[in-house]
Amino acid sequence: MNIIVCVKQIPDPETPASSFRVDEAAKKVVPAQGIPPVVNPYDPQATEAALRLKEAAGGGKVTVISLGPESARDAIKHALAMGADEGILLNDPGFEGIDNFQTAVALAKAIEKVGQYDLILMGRAAADWDMGVVPMGVATLLGIPCVSIAKAIERVDGKVRVTRVLDDGFQTVEAPLPAVVSVSNEFGEPRYPQLRQIMLAAKKTVQVWNAADLGLSADQLGEANRWLKLEALYVPKVESKVEIIEADSPEEKARILAQKLRADKLI
Amino acid sequence: MVKFTAEHEIFRRTVREFVEKEINPYADEWEAAGTFPAHELFKKAAKLGLLGVEYDPAYGGGGADHWYTVILGEELGRADCGGVPMAITVQTDMATPALAKWGSHELKKQYLEPALKGEMVASIAVTEPDAGSDVASIKTFARRDGDEYVINGSKIYITNGTQADFLTLLARTSPEGGYRGMSLIIVPTDRPGFRVARKLRKLGNHSSDTAELVLEDVRVPVTNRIGEEGQGFYLQMQQFQKERLIAVYTAIGGMRRAIERTVAYLRERKAFGGPLLSMQYIQYTLAELIVEIESLRQLAYAAAEGVVAGEDVTRLATMAKFKAGRLVRRVADTCLQFHGGLGYMEEMWTARYFRDSRLLGIGGGADEVMLRVLTRTEGLEA
């Protein structure tokens, strides 16, 4: 079973609030000093799903693709250290500042170039922008089904059976292969890379493809050709006010509190 | 400046997650119990390759470079207790290096391989009631009887001692005194005549079991000896370098985390109209400690580079061990002090860290032994 996993490198979500900065004029997040970027936390779950499916199928290949700067190679290496077989880094100056639709276009081109695939897995969303639309975009461009937010995936009779996470329960659906499936944290703990696998990963090669390799032209790339225009980017200001309720008894305090909450339409 | 590779950083995350998921949630329970389930935890560590980082893959090791050991130590040092990291590093870098380097193939198959799989727990048994820093004074005797050694004596302050499946034991094998006539012997603890005399109560590192062991006519095959007869002291002295370095790496990880946690607390803790961290005295004290820790880290990295290059690192390892033993006490004391009354409470990490930190200046060669070695390496003898 040949599976392609798309992974993304993002700023560490554990970055302390005191180190997190936004350049409002440039509409960009300023990378925190001394805090290296990490693999999007949902992506190791997609890799884990791919490895389990490959193991269940008794063979196949797991190819990892990441679009990003040279440092995104580390996100690929993480997946290789978990046990994935091959890595491809999509790296081009034209990818700087692109939106999720442009990303989906580039990923779809790369997947077509890889050629043989039964399944494409991604994390349910990237924890930086948290939009979760790239899986649908890629599936639409490839003309194949997309099943989002999976907690369980199995291959049954040449199809994929996916249990999806809903707000109030679960839903099990089937789709023909090939398909795109986005994997949620409910899938379960991804394996830690073992030292032996890490050492092996060091020997695996990561190919680098640029925009020309994917057949993408300049008018499809760059910040200027975004479909989604970013109007403003800022850290919301949270103001907290404290009001101490003075009264003679706890009952009286509770009564005043209840009146205030009702006045503010909170209860 | 050392540049860790992407693979090194992936390994760092693996160890950090192991500490956060497999050690920290149980640290309080194990501290209260005065022990931890070594066989259970070591198997989990072994699965990730943490027990045999640099050892020969032929025996289940990782065959990795020494920087992975540096990372292992630094990340284990970030655990919520000092005892478990100590127990793990006894297994990886104190009780097994001599076996891996000078043990016979059969001996390594029988003991090193299961130790790296976490199926066997190992202890290093050198110290005796009358011989600690003065290793040359040990009295435990292994008398040759045909193809066997018959061992008599006692060992004390032995980490993993109540749970160990085998000891890497230093004993006299001939009556010459001093440094000569000693051998390193693997002693399985299921032999008749071996017993745990008592589990020892300590100031700190409560999660790690420490024992006094007694050997009465314990018979082991002569083939359990590591290296040549009479070479034990020299082999142990070389093994000590590994022990000292891993202790230093672990201490560095612990100190860095202690400073991070203290800074986070002082940023939130308001007193005298602002966060305590805004006080210049506090800022300067912490900045100075950070300089000290970073200096030690660079010294340790210089020693690590020496290990990678295959050099004798006695001088740098000894300096680093001495510096770490002193510095960790200062860091633990300062962190506790800056937490005020809360820092003295048992519920705060500072209290445990303060207790645990006291050992490094004693175990693995006391500060004074390090100074004694340095007197020689620095040519200070009159």
Asked if residue B115 lies in contact with residue B89, where contact means CB atoms within 8 angstroms, the answer is no
**pLDDT tens readout for residues B263-275:** 999 999 999 999 9
Do B96 and B173 fall into the same domain? no
Assigned token pair, B252: 């560095």
Nearest 10 degrees: CA dihedral of B231, B235, B240, B243? -140
In a domain, B311, yes or no: yes
Other C-beta atoms closer than 10 Å to the C-beta of A259 total 11
Task: Indicate which of A89, A195, A203, A206 best probes the interface with B, i.e. most B CBs within 10 Å of its own CB.
Answer: A195
Beta bridge partners of B257: none
**pLDDT tens readout for residues A191-250:** 999 999 999 998 998 999 999 999 999 999 999 999 999 899 998 888 888 889 999 999
In this prediction, what percent of chain B has a pLDDT beyond 90? 93
Other C-beta atoms closer than 10 Å to the C-beta of B21 total 13
Closest partner residue to A202 among B7, B17, B264, by Cβ?
B7
CA end-to-end distance (rounded Å), chain B: 37
* Phi (first) and psi of residue B222, to 5 degrees: -60, -25
Task: Give CA separation, B95 vs A21, A94, B50, B116, B167, in Å.
Answer: 48, 55, 15, 11, 7
In a domain, B223, yes or no: yes
Determine the pLDDT at residue B109: 98
A vs B: CB pairs below 8 A: 52
**pLDDT averaged over chain A?**
94
Helix (H, G, I), strand (E, B) or coil at B168: strand
Dihedral over Cα of A24, A25, A31, A37: its sign: positive
Determine the pLDDT at residue B304: 97
Distance to chain B for A116, nearest Cα, Å = 28
Question: Is the confidence at residue A74, as pLDDT, over 70?
Answer: yes
Spell out the residues 6+ positions from residue B213 whose beta carbon is closer than 8 angstroms to its own. Answer: B125, B154, B155, B156, B158, B161, B167, B194, B195, B196, B197
B7·A192 Cβ contact <8 A: no
**pLDDT tens readout for residues A117-149:** 999 999 999 999 999 999 999 999 999 999 999
In this prediction, what percent of chain A has a pLDDT beyond 90? 82
CATH number of the domain at B292, please: 1.20.140.10
Q: How far is CA A108 from the centre of its chain?
A: 16
Question: Is the confidence at residue B2, as pLDDT, over 80?
Answer: no
As a whole number, mean pLDDT of residues B85-91 equals: 97
Do B44 and B83 fall into the same domain? yes
Determine the pLDDT at residue B90: 97
Q: How far apart are the C-alpha atoms of B21 and B33, rounded to whole Å? A: 19
Do B17 and B63 fall into the same domain? yes
- The 3-state secondary structure of chain A reads CEEEEEECEECCCCCCHHHCEEECCCCEEECCCCCCCEECCCHHHHHHHHHHHHHHHCCCEEEEEEECCHHHHHHHHHHHHHCCCEEEEECCHHHCCCCHHHHHHHHHHHHHHHCCCCEEEEECCCCCCCCCCHHHHHHHHHCCCEEEEEEEEEEECCEEEEEEEECCEEEEEEEECCEEEEECHHHCCCCCCCHHHHHHHCCCCEEEECCCCCCCCHHHCCHHHCCCCCCCCCCCCCCCCCCCCCCCCHHHHHHHHHHHHHHCCCC
**pLDDT tens readout for residues B216-253:** 999 999 999 999 999 999 999 998 999 999 999 999 99
**pLDDT averaged over chain B?**
96
Beta bridge partners of B169: B125, B185
Residue owning tokens 């002082």: B266
As a whole number, mean pLDDT of residues B84-101 equals: 97
Between B51 and B136, residue with greater pLDDT: B51
Nearest 10 degrees: CA dihedral of A173, A177, A182, A183? 70
CATH number of the domain at B90, please: 1.10.540.10
Please say which residue of B232, B249, B264 terminates a domain: B232
Please say which residue of B201, B232, B263 terminates a domain: B232
Question: Is the confidence at residue A18, as pLDDT, over 80?
Answer: no
B267·A18 Cβ contact <8 A: yes
Assigned token pair, B224: 């359990």
CATH number of the domain at B220, please: 2.40.110.10
Closest residue, chain B, to A70 (C-alpha):
B6
Do B158 and B278 fall into the same domain? no
Question: What is the largest distance, in Å, between two alpha-carbon atoms of chain B?
Answer: 79
Outline where DSSP puts E strands in chain B.
122-125, 141-145, 148-159, 166-172, 182-188, 194-199, 210-221, 225-226, 270-271, 274-275
As a whole number, mean pLDDT of residues B12-20 equals: 96
B10·A193 Cβ contact <8 A: yes
Spell out the residues 6+ positions from residue A65 whose beta carbon is closer than 8 angstroms to its own. Answer: A4, A5, A6, A7, A76, A87, A88, A89, A90, A107, A110, A111, A114
Do B264 and B347 fall into the same domain? yes
Distance to chain B for A89, nearest Cα, Å = 15
Determine the pLDDT at residue A75: 95
Do B141 and B10 fall into the same domain? no
Confidence at B1, pLDDT banded by 50, 70, 90 = low
In a domain, B1, yes or no: no
Asked if residue B34 lies in contact with residue B159, where contact means CB atoms within 8 angstroms, the answer is no
Please tell me what DSSP assigns to residue B104. Answer: -
Of the listed ranges A203-212, B125-134, B343-352, B360-369, the one predicted with least confidence: B125-134
Determine the pLDDT at residue A15: 85
Closest C-alpha to B160, from B192, B128, B99, B207: B207
Between B131 and B340, residue with greater pLDDT: B340
Catalytic residue among B54, B74, B128, B243: B243
Domain that holds residue B240: 234-377
Do B134 and B226 fall into the same domain? yes
What's the alpha-carbon Rg for chain B, to the nearest Å?
Answer: 21
Nearest 10 degrees: CA dihedral of B203, B204, B210, B211? 10
Determine the pLDDT at residue A266: 87
Of the listed ranges A19-23, A66-70, B10-14, the one predicted with least confidence: A19-23
Closest partner residue to B11 among A18, A73, A198, by Cβ?
A198
Question: Is the confidence at residue B6, as pLDDT, over 80?
Answer: yes
Asked if residue B158 lies in contact with residue B127, where contact means CB atoms within 8 angstroms, the answer is yes
- B162-B166-B168 Cα angle (round to 5): 110
Q: How far apart are the C-alpha atoms of B4 and A261, rounded to whole Å? A: 55
In a domain, B277, yes or no: yes
Can you tell me the ipTM of this complex?
A: 0.86
CATH code given to domain A2-225: 3.40.50.620
Q: How far apart are the C-alpha atoms of B208 and B85, rounded to whole Å? A: 9
Closest C-alpha to B165, from B253, B96, B226: B96
In a domain, B64, yes or no: yes
Do B226 and B240 fall into the same domain? no
- Chain A residues touching B62 at Cβ < 8 A: 195-196, 199
As a whole number, mean pLDDT of residues B120-132 equals: 94
The total number of structural domains in chain B stands at 3
Do B218 and B247 fall into the same domain? no
Confidence at A33, pLDDT banded by 50, 70, 90 = confident
Do B238 and B369 fall into the same domain? yes
Q: How far is CA B366 from the centre of its chain?
A: 13
In a domain, B282, yes or no: yes
Do B90 and B18 fall into the same domain? yes
Q: How far is CA B130 from the centre of its chain?
A: 22
Confidence at B199, pLDDT banded by 50, 70, 90 = very high
Nearest 10 degrees: CA dihedral of B175, B177, B178, B181? -20
In this prediction, what percent of chain B has a pLDDT beyond 70? 100
Residue owning tokens 């097994």: B96
Assigned token pair, A67: 């679009």
Helices vs. strands in chain B: H and E counts, helices first: 14, 10
Task: Indicate which of B3, B5, B7 best probes the interface with A, i.e. most A CBs within 10 Å of its own CB.
Answer: B7
Determine the pLDDT at residue B231: 94
In a domain, B216, yes or no: yes
Q: Are strands A119-123 and A179-183 parallel, antiparallel or unpaired?
A: parallel
Do B111 and B133 fall into the same domain? no
- Chain A residues touching B11 at Cβ < 8 A: 193, 195, 198
As a whole number, mean pLDDT of residues B315-331 equals: 98
Contacts 24+ apart (CB under 8 A), B297-300: B297/B252, B299/B323, B300/B70, B300/B245, B300/B248, B300/B249, B300/B252, B300/B324
Determine the pLDDT at residue B92: 97
Determine the pLDDT at residue B132: 83
Please say which residue of B232, B257, B272 terminates a domain: B232
Tell me if residue B347 is catalytic. Answer: no
Closest residue, chain A, to B6 (C-alpha):
A74
